[in-house]
Amino acid sequence: MVFTACSTVPGTGRSQLTLIPSSQMLSMSYSQYSEVIKKAKLSKDKEKTAMVRNVGVRIARAVEDLLKEEGVEMKFDWEFNLIEDDKQANAWCMPGGKIAVYTGILKYTKDENGLAVVMGHEVAHAVANHGNERMTAGIGLTAITLALAIGSSDMAPGTRNAFLAAFGAGTSVGIMLPFSRSHETEADKLGLQLMARAGYDPNAAIPFWQRMAKSGGKKPPEFLSTHPSNETRIRNIEKFLPEALMYYFPPQHRNR
């Protein structure tokens, strides 16, 4: 089962383990997305909504090109929505290509190039199957925790509880948080490639993250965060840019 669940991330070549059937992931994704959209207030700004959909369509085509080149079959039923919420500087993409962008992020993206940085990154999470990989890791840790709980049943209650609590804290800081940060870094790398393939200049990623770094608010230390710090992110993007720029052709020089 483990052997057949191994796959390779398109665009980066990293090997990964995913145990959740794709049909189950898509079913959960479509259901959750539908619930969010039903409750959300969708933007009535036609210009901004059109910009989100235009960027989304171009990145979706870039994904299809990448998957075709690598001979990878993945199912996407693309949908792009702009949610009216100026307090949320956020965007996300669920498995299957269900995307939501919040109006609060637009003051940082500034234009289509900046928006492509965000949407390329979020779509990269779906292309790289990060949701499935995180759920698989969670299942593994739950199984180990259960085994330890059973194996330590002869311990004194206080000692056993302290042992299990220490194990939980250790796996969170030492395994799951670094795992999440590695996904964010991979999504940055793949996202730059996708936006470049879509005809957007990946150089826009650095000023975008510089603007985000100035957005204020105290942030936790990087080792306690699910995301790399903005400074780490910018350094990594600088390393990823040469490869991403190999895929960049401005719209006037593209065949379509």
Give the H/E segment covering residue 26: helix 22-39
Rounded distance, CA 133 to CA 94, Å? Answer: 13
Crossing angle (nearest 10°) for helices 112-127 and 205-213: 90
Nearest by Cα to 70 from 81, 78, 62, 58: 62
CB 52 within 8 A of CB 101: yes
* Rounded Cα–Cα distance for residues 229 and 218 (Å): 12
**DSSP summary character for residue 253:** G
- Which DSSP string do the residues of 33-95 spell out, in sequence order? HHHHHHHS-B---HHHHHHHHHHHHHHHHHHHHHHHHHT-------EEEEE--TT---EEEET
In what side-by-side order are the strands of the sheet with 98-102?
79-83, 98-102, 91-94
Residue positions annotated with a catalytic role = 122
